[in-house]
């Protein structure tokens, strides 16, 4: 019976990881720029175990880069990069990361920021606007202060694996890279998370039921083991 318990335990662990990912997707369904996590599962034969049993495991969690739905805001500093491109930002640690969270604002130093992180130009420099002038971003990704062009948004395309380093913040993973790109943006709009609330809710219920089934299987195998021990004692 021990093999059955181990198979069920592996299934429960894999489903627990799926539950964490789906719950995070559901919680961020309306978060601008959020990209859903998609766990990948694999079955395997355990060394030395019975060869008629397969064990499950969550082997990787990929990030779904498909665009999410957009929402019209009319704000001149809300942007959606076209063609799946990402805005380039500087992290608190001084590194570079990428986001589609287009809620741009000006910090006290008049730097253009996304969620508090400075936006970078194609040259990798923070975009600073002069005082007392209204800021806007045009369709070509150029940043204006009044009638003066200040800089352009640094846009990039992510190629290969990516890692999430914040709720709406990504960085190239092992073997991945960020390629500088030129392109357009849509002003006055925001892109929301690409995990639909209905889809994530259905996945959450399905994963929860599968997790509970694995726990029930573990309990059943334990009861069978206990009965086998009691029968052996009687004999």
Cβ atoms of residues 157 and 33 within 8 Å? no
Residue 48 Rama label (left phi>0; alpha psi -120 to 50; beta): left
Helix (H), strand (E) at residue 170: strand 169-172
Q: Are strands 142-145 and 148-152 parallel, antiparallel or unpaired?
A: antiparallel
Pairing of strands 135-137, 55-63: unpaired
Q: What is the pLDDT of residue 50?
A: 54
What pLDDT is attached to residue 1? 45
* Domain limits, the chain: 2-65+195-234, 70-191
SS3 track for 18-73: HHHHHHHHHHCCCCCCCCCEEEEEEEECCCCCCCCCCEEEEEEEEECCCCCCEEEC
Q: Which of 202, 207, 199, 201 is nearest to 68 (CA)?
A: 199
Q: How far apart are CA 189 and CA 211, in angstroms?
A: 39
Segments of the chain scoring below 70 in pLDDT: 1-9, 11, 41-60, 221, 224-225, 228-235
In which residue are the tokens 């606007």 written? 129
pLDDT at 95: 93
CA distance 129 to 76: 15
132-187 pLDDT, tens digit per residue, is 889 999 999 999 999 999 999 999 999 999 999 988 999 999 999 999 998 899 99
């Amino acid at each position: 019976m021990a093999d059955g318990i181990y198979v069920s335990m592996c299934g429960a662990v894999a489903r627990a990881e799926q539950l964490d990912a789906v719950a995070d997707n559901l919680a961020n369904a309306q978060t601008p720029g959020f990209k859903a996590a998609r766990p990948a599962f694999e079955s395997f034969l355990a060394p030395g175990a019975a060869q008629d049993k397969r064990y499950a495991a969550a082997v990787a969690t990929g990030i779904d880069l498909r665009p999410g739905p957009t929402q019209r805001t009319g704000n001149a500093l809300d942007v959606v990069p076209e063609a799946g491109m990402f805005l380039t930002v500087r992290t608190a640690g001084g590194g570079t990361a990428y986001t589609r969270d287009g809620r741009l604002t000006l910090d006290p130093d008049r730097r253009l920021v996304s969620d508090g992180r400075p936006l970078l130009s194609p040259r990798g420099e923070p975009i600073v606007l002069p005082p007392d002038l209204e800021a806007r971003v045009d369709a070509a990704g150029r940043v204006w202060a009044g009638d003066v062009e200040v800089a352009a948004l640094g846009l990039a395309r992510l190629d290969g694996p990516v890692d999430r380093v914040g709720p709406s913040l990504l960085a190239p993973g092992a073997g991945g890279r960020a390629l500088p790109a030129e392109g357009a943006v849509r002003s006055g709009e925001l892109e929301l998370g690409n995990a639909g609330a209905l889809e994530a809710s259905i996945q959450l219920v399905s994963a929860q039921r599968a997790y509970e089934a694995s726990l029930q299987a573990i309990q059943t195998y334990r009861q069978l083991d206990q009965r086998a021990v009691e029968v052996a004692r009687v004999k």
